[in-house]
Structure 1
Amino acid sequence: MGEFWPVADVRAYLAGRWRVERSVRDLAGGYEGEFTGSTVFGPLPGGGLLHEESGTFVWQGVGRPAERTLRFLPGSVPGTADVRFADGRPFHDLDLRSGRHVTDHPCAADLYRGEFTVRDADHWWTEWRVGGPAKDLLIVTDYAREG
């Protein structure tokens, strides 16, 4: 991607409902899956956003309901956030002031490297590369604002 769309206030940008399309590729095993659904970024008491995602994940031809919840807490400046799992454990930092951000999340013996790219006011995407002794994944998610 050659062009990025800078975000001055990450919470204002993300707030609302987004259509989600995600592809998951197991690079070692050659398997592929996809998630389709939606994400809602709603207000959290005390600031920040509650990220609630739900939809259907299809893996090897079998579809199952899937959901996850994250907390996007205020970062040190408006274009940033401290992203945490639903239980409060740290996930990753997020800085969209340039429209692009790369971050890491170590998880046991695996390393998740995430790239976030804002395309415009209504579209952004993430790419997570997951590597470790038991994982070799590429997870790409497209977000498009609904409404």
Structure 2
Amino acid sequence: MSGFWPVPDVLGFLAGRWRVERSVRDLASGEAGSFTGSTAFTALDGGGLLHRESGTFVWRGAARPAGRTLRFLPGAAPGTADVRFADGRPFHDLDLRSGRHLAGHPCAADLYRGEFTVLDADRWRTVWRVRGPAKDLVLTTDYTREG
């Protein structure tokens, strides 16, 4: 698997602060937007990490604050994670032991398909493809470790 950086412990790898740059493309309309900000992965009581993302989302020329919170809990296998929304609902699993992972998440009538790749010790990327009756999106996010 040339080009991927294996990560034996996903929670250990993610801990800390990351600069975030995301492009959002609406394949149906041709419109594009962007998100720029940061993500902090901090320790949760009882194990795992709290993921807090904040920054600015620009869409149709309008910039506005945006953010999200997720929980990255220890996964079923050593070195993996169980990713959940802030309210505890399941999102997807995450296994970067090979440096690459594919995940899926059904959300109402939409289907989210994610590809996670680790580029090196300080950079990783996610590409989410969202398809549904009213959505046809590609969200590409690049993470670069801070400090």
Count of aligned pairs:
147
Identity %: 78
1:134 aligns to 2:128 (yes or no): no
> Aligned-pair distance for 1:45?
0.4
Aligned to 1:3: 3
Equivalent residue letter for 1:84: R
The residue number in structure 2 matching 1:72 is 72
| Whole-angstrom CA distance in 2 between matches of 1:11 and 1:103 | 17
Q: What secondary structure sits across from 1:6 in the alignment?
A: coil
Residue 120 of structure 2: aligned partner: 120
CA shift, 1:76, in A, is: 1.8
Superposition map of 1:52-131 within 5 A:
52-131=52-131
Q: Tell me the secondary structure at the aligned position of residue 127 of structure 2.
A: strand
When normalised by structure 1's length, the TM-score is: 0.98
CA distance in 2 between partners of 1:111 and 1:2 (Å): 29
Once residues 140 and 90 of structure 2 are traced to their aligned partners in structure 1, the CA distance between those partners, rounded to angstroms, is: 21
Q: Distance in 2 between matches of 1:122 and 1:129?
A: 24
- Structure 2 unaligned segments of length 5 or more: list them: none
Displacement, 1:2? 4.6
* Distance in structure 2 (CA, Å) of the matches to 1:115 and 1:57: 22
RMSD (Å) for aligned C-alpha atoms = 1.0
Q: TM-score, normalised by structure 2?
A: 0.98
Residue-by-residue CA offset, 1:16-56 (whole Å, 9 max, x unaligned)? 00000000000001111000000000000000000000000
- 3-state SS in 2 of match to 1:13: helix
- List runs of 5+ in structure 1 lacking aligned partners: none
Task: State the distance in 1 between where 2:95 and 2:84 align.
Answer: 14
Partner of 2:42: 42
- The AA in structure 1 aligned to 2:79 is G
